[in-house]
Structure 1
Amino acid sequence: MKNFKTLLFTQALILCGLTVFAQNSLTKEEKNTAINHLKQSQNELLVAVKDLTEAQLNYKSSEEVWSIAETMEHIAIAEKNIFGIVEMTLKADPDPSKRSEVMMSDEQVLALITSRDQKVKTRPEFEPTNSFGSYTGSLDAFKAQRKSNMVFVKKTKEDLRNRYFDFPFGKVDAYQVVLFMSGHTQRHMKQIVEIIKSDSFPKA
């Protein structure tokens, strides 16, 4: 009987060990890094668009490019849709066996998405279509979603490092999707700055 109880106890420990291995929460440092980046990219965006006039918000150098208002709508749409990827990854159990398939570091993911060297055509569901009714509606939607996303990062106990998503450029973990989302904001903040600095941009 003693040996049987010992066997059961050992098996319980093994099961607990597997559970701990399969479900690792983010470290405090990882959470702080993500939250700080999310705050930084939001602040940079808000500074870039501060006090712009209606004419400036809607200025387009050609019909083929987005205005600042359209860019803001795209950012708000992306904030919701990219975080939806994180939510989608949570439907699957953590899988440490795929960890080696993640080839890019956090820094490389951020560098890739924030770079404006290579232009990328967005998917149809990310296209601006006045879905929030106005520039102010887009801005408010972005800020509300960003606030919700930061609360999630702060409070989550989910294992984001062993859940994954396949972007066209490769497999990333769910934590990197959060960083990608923040970097996406920075990418388009740079686009807004480029518009503002153009020679034909309205003075007021």
Structure 2
Amino acid sequence: MHQLVNDNLYETRNNLVTEITLLSDAQLNRKPEMNIWSIAQVCHHLFLVEQASIKAIAWGLKAGDSTQKERKEIQLFLLDRTKKINAPKIVEPDVEPFKVQRIIDLLNDSRNKLMTLLSSIEDASILAEKSVKHPALGELPLDLWIEQIYLHEQRHIAQIKEIKILLDVEH
């Protein structure tokens, strides 16, 4: 896999874990407003998205050649938080409270599964040749599915920082 993508996955996840590690369980689960997710819910959503992305990438690798060859500029779309993207039901977070360590364990587990899948790919060029439909981004080559994982996390890290300000939590 491309080293820059690997570095971005690693760095972004470290930034996410740094944002939540020192929170109390109460801070993690407190909602700043009724219609805003708690930090726990944001993190659970990120876990669910990564799990769904792993399934999509694995499915795309097994599927025949794709018809989609067009490259999309997903970074601008995903990092623009002025554009709200409604989460599909399958990646909506639980409303039940989480412990900080449980969230970190879930995130570590899904990242380990992703890295195991990616390390099993003999020829990474196949990732640019096959595609799977993404719920928000449309037909997407598999290499962009990988990139959207860390870009999506970066989007939500910014959201977590905003939630911490709303909750008046040290950051």
Q: Secondary structure at the match of 1:71?
A: helix
Shift of 1:140: 0.7
Secondary structure of 2:109 counterpart: helix
Q: Which residue of 2 aligns with 1:33?
A: 4
Taking a change above 3 Å as real, the CA distance of residues 180 and 131 of structure 1, as seen in their structure-2 partners, is: farther
CA contact (8 A) 1:59 1:201 kept: no
Computed over aligned residues only, the root mean square deviation of the Cα atoms, in angstroms, reads 2.4
Q: CA deviation at 1:110?
A: 2.4
Q: Does 1:172 align with 2:140?
A: yes
| TM-score normalised according to structure 1 size | 0.73
1: CA distance between counterparts of 2:78 and 2:159? 13
Q: Distance in 2 between matches of 1:139 and 1:67?
A: 15
Question: Secondary structure of 2:127's partner?
Answer: coil
Between 1:137-146 and 1:172-181, the stretch displaced more is: 137-146
Alpha-carbon distance, 1:130 to partner: 5.5
Count of residue pairs brought into register by the alignment: 168
Map 1:176-195 to 2 at 5 A: 176-195=144-163
Does 1:150 pair with 2:118?
A: no
Q: Percent identity?
A: 21
- Deviation per CA, 1:96-140: give whole Å up to 9, x if none: xx354x141xxx222322221211111111111258964432321
Scaled by the length of structure 2, what TM-score is found?
0.85
Matched, 1:201 2:155: no
Tell me, what secondary structure is at the counterpart of 2:37? coil
CA contact (8 A) 1:71 1:192 kept: yes
* Match for residue 102 of structure 2 among 137, 142, 145: 137
- In the alignment, structure 2 segments of 5+ residues that lack a partner are none
- What's the counterpart of residue 127 of structure 1? 92
User: Partner letter of residue 71 of structure 1?
Assistant: V
Alpha-carbon distance between aligned partners in 1 of 2:169 and 2:74, rounded to the nearest angstrom = 35
Q: Which runs of 5+ in 1 are unaligned?
A: 1-29
* Residue of structure 2 aligned with 1:72, choices 43, 56, 73: 43
Q: Which has the larger displacement, 117-126 or 146-155?
A: 146-155
Partner of 1:57: 28
Could you tell me whether the CA contact under 8 Å between 1:161 and 1:174 is conserved in 2? yes
